[in-house]
Amino acid sequence: MMDLYLRAVEYSLNETSYEAALAGLRYGINRRPDGLGFMISGFDDKLSVLSAAVVEALLTTELTDERLELLRQELIRKWRNSTQDTPYIQLMREVGLLLNTTAWQPARLADELEKLDFSTFRQYVKTIFNGASLELLASGNLQVEEVKVLAQSLSEQLASGNPADWLPRGIARVAPGEKINAPMSIPHKDAGILRYYQGRDDSVAEAARFMFLRQLIKSPFFHELRTEQQLGYVVAAVDQGLERVPGFGLLVQSPSAPLSRLEQAIDQFLDSYAEQLAAMPAEEFERHRASILTGLTEKPKSLAEQSGRFWTSIDLRDYQFDMRQQLIVEVQNLTHAQMLEVYRNVVVAAGFSMQVDTSAGDFMSGSGLAKERDVYRLPEKM
């Protein structure tokens, strides 16, 4: 229902959005894991005007059944069509949908929206801000006092009642060695596979270890499976961190090799790489460290990028805004011996946490998966 509500709000703001763009302003609204969010940017002298228009739409949008039906069908079409996405995109997306306790697969969203009656939807909209809390980030050419005025206005309009408990967010924990298999039955001529490795905890230290591990693996993995064996045009070691839980995936999509061949190639690479890592010269290891630190210490290139970093911290409840600095310290202190031990324990001994692939099989529900295991929870809100 949240997605349909946001579509209705966007529709009611069509004219305002066009006028705002002409004036150098823009806005965005989206469903978040524990609520909804909206963003406004552009020339500071008119931000309050656009903010007021967006808030009014959030509070007063009312559409006919005919218009709501058109918006519903658009959403259902979008979700149904996600099964036509390129296989590797579906594989990367599925890991988060299965493990995140507040995420649902597109097909399930479409099924539920098809059953929705508009009287239930309208009642939902009337109560959507009951018990709401507000988090606000302002950055750029703004004065503190005007931000305080804006925050007070938004709070009075959107979060004036007694705040309810925040919706608990979390990532389902996969026990070491469990090796979940999640076939997706993707009807495509290519075969695809994603081997996902989940962090053993959600600490910053583990995040640093997994960041280093992916850095070490990504180039030789690509070289061996793409350049040497020519198994596919999509070969990568990808970041699969979910909220505070670190993770990475080994991804291959091939137009020529069957899934069994891709599985074999990944297994063989991981076995052989243990020896390569053990024999890695100190200079090469330090080059990998330097590459990670270059990315972590790079200054934001724009106000938008800087704001994005701040909001990521807020979203992960890093209210001290020091998680990046903690990562830098952890990466600086990791040794070759420690990373070799991590590789042997995580990759060789325990093996993958989950394999998502294009093969035929029974549909796996993310909500069912989360109910059966421990969950990594975010820290409490401030």
pLDDT value at position 381? 67
Element (H, E) at 316: none
CA angle (258 as vertex; 256, 262 as ends), nearest 5:
100
Rg (CA), the chain: 23
pLDDT value at position 367? 57
Mean pLDDT across the stretch 93-104?
A: 93
Convert the pLDDT of each residue in 249-286 to its tens digit.
999 999 999 999 999 999 999 999 999 999 999 999 99
Nearest CA among 334, 352, 330, 319 for reference residue 240: 352
pLDDT value at position 299? 95
The pLDDT mean for the chain works out to: 93
Asked if residues 261 and 239 have their Cβ atoms less than 8 Å apart, the reply is no
Is residue 372 predicted with pLDDT exceeding 80?
no
Q: Which long-range contacts (CB under 8 A, 24 or more apart) does 142-147 make?
A: 142/44, 142/47, 146/48
Q: Tokens 């989950």 identify what position?
A: 354
- Give the C-alpha separation, 308 to 41, whole Å: 12
Convert the pLDDT of each residue in 122-151 to its tens digit.
999 999 999 899 999 998 888 899 899 989
Mean pLDDT across the stretch 21-29?
A: 88
Mean pLDDT across the stretch 101-111?
A: 92
pLDDT value at position 42? 85
Of the listed ranges 214-223, 339-348, 365-374, the least confidently predicted one is 365-374
Convert the pLDDT of each residue in 305-350 to its tens digit.
999 999 999 999 999 999 999 999 999 999 999 999 999 999 999 9
The phi and psi torsions of 111 (rounded to 5 degrees) equal -60, -45
Residue 306 tokens read as 């800087």
Most confidently modeled range among 34-48, 118-132, 211-225: 211-225
- Give the C-alpha separation, 75 to 6, whole Å: 11
Asked if residues 190 and 254 have their Cβ atoms less than 8 Å apart, the reply is yes
Convert the pLDDT of each residue in 140-190 to its tens digit.
888 899 899 989 999 999 987 788 888 888 999 999 999 999 999 999 999
The phi and psi torsions of 97 (rounded to 5 degrees) equal -65, -35
Is residue 4 predicted with pLDDT exceeding 70?
yes
Domains of the chain from N-terminus onward: 2-158 (3.30.830.10), 170-377 (3.30.830.10)
Res. 33 pLDDT band, cuts 50 70 90: confident
pLDDT value at position 368? 60
Convert the pLDDT of each residue in 7-17 to its tens digit.
999 999 988 88
Residues for the chain: how many in total? 382
Res. 78 pLDDT band, cuts 50 70 90: very high
Residue 88 tokens read as 């590797």
Asked if residues 128 and 5 have their Cβ atoms less than 8 Å apart, the reply is yes
pLDDT value at position 277? 97
Is residue 229 predicted with pLDDT exceeding 60?
yes
Note the pTM of the prediction, 2 decimals: 0.93
Res. 45 pLDDT band, cuts 50 70 90: confident
Asked if residues 198 and 95 have their Cβ atoms less than 8 Å apart, the reply is no
- Give the C-alpha separation, 134 to 251, whole Å: 38
pLDDT value at position 282? 97
Is residue 366 predicted with pLDDT exceeding 70?
no
pLDDT value at position 164? 83
- Give the C-alpha separation, 86 to 63, whole Å: 35
pLDDT value at position 223? 97
- Give the C-alpha separation, 357 to 3, whole Å: 28
Is residue 363 predicted with pLDDT exceeding 90?
no
pLDDT value at position 380? 74
pLDDT cut 70: percent of the chain above it: 97
**DSSP string of 11-46, one letter each residue:** HHTHHHHHHHHHTTEEEEEEEETTEEEEEEEE-GGG
Asked if residues 352 and 196 have their Cβ atoms less than 8 Å apart, the reply is yes
pLDDT value at position 369? 74
pLDDT value at position 220? 98
Compare 103 and 44 and report the one with higher pLDDT: 103
- Give the C-alpha separation, 350 to 213, whole Å: 15
- Give the C-alpha separation, 90 to 86, whole Å: 7
pLDDT value at position 324? 96
